[in-house]
Amino acid sequence: MKKLIVDKKYDQKKLNKFLQDSIPNLNNNLLYKTLRKKDIKVNGKRVHENITIFENDVIEVYITDDLLENKVELKIVFEDENILVIDKPSGIEVTGSNSLTTLIHNQYSNCGFLPMPCHRLDRNTSGLVLYAKNQKTLDILLNKFKNHEIEKHYLALVFGKPKFKSQTLTSYLFKDSKKSIVYISDEPKKGYSKIITSYSVLEYNSNGTCLLDVEIQTGKTHQIRAHLAHIGLPIVGDGKYGNYEINKKLGFKTQQLTSYILKFNFSTDSGILKYLNGKEIKK
C-alpha cells in the first residue's frame, strides 16, 4: 500500500492525474483496474472513478509494492566532484515524490550533500538535467542559469515546415495552474510573461515533419511545446498542444522533445567551476 497526501499543485485536479504524476510506474491499464476493484481510498473511502481531489486529501493505493516501485535506472552522462548530469527518461518528474531527484538521493544517500537539480524539465520531456553535488556549486549554477550563462538546447520533432530556417520568437505566456495548461499571445497582456524561443532547422523529413534545434532564453512552463504549436509547428506526440490525428497517423504516443546539449558560457566569476567555462555536454 502507498499513502500519498495531495499538495496544493493538485488541488481540484483529477485523481488520475495526481496518481500518474506521483507514481510514474502506474500505467493506465493498472490504474483503471485498481479503480474498478475499489483498491484506492480517498480520505478513508473507497472510490471507483476518476474523481476530483483537493489539497491535503489522503490517498491510499492498494497495489503490491513491486508494481509501485520506480524501476528507472539512472543514466549518468557526466560526473565530477561538483556536478552530475543525468539523461532523464520521459514520464518522470525532476522533483516531487518518486521523482528523478528521489532516485538520485537514494543512490547518493551516503554523501554529505544530496545532489540538487539546478533547473527543471517537464515530466514528459526527456534529456539532460544538471545537478549540483555541493552547496557552492548549487549557488553558482543557479546564478548562472538566472543570468543566461548556461545554454540549454533541445531537439524537437515537429509537424509542418517552418517559414524560416532559423528564427527567434518573442511572445507572451499565461499559465493556468488549475487547468495545467498555458496560453500564448503575440501581444503583451495582463498576467502574461514574456518568452523568447529560438529554433534552427536541422533536417526536413518526407512525412511532413522536421527536426529542430531549440534554445530558450526564458524557462517558462511548457514554453517550447506551446510556443511552437502557436506558430503552427506542434511537437509530434504531444498530447496537450499537439495534433491528435497527426500523432495517431505517425504512431507517436509521447512528445518528441529532448534536452540534448548543455553549454557553459560563463561571462562572470564562476569560482570553483571556472574549469567548466566553454565546456559542452551532449546527450
Is residue 62 within 8 Å of 39, Cβ to Cβ? yes
Sequence-ordered alpha helix ranges (H) in the chain: 15-22, 28-36, 65-68, 100-107, 135-146, 223-230, 244-250
161 HSE (CA, 13 A, CB side): 5
Q: Which of 40, 138, 130 is nearest to 85 (CA)?
A: 130
7 is known as an active-site residue: no
Residue 59 zone, left/alpha/beta (φ > 0; ψ -120 to 50; rest): beta
Which residues does 163 contact at the CB level (< 8 Å), separation at least 6?
none
Distances (CA, A) of 228 to 154, 162, 224: 13, 10, 6
Is residue 128 within 8 Å of 86, Cβ to Cβ? yes
Name residue, grid cell 474498478.
36
Selected catalytic residue, list 21, 57, 122, 238: 122
Residues annotated catalytic, as ranges: 122
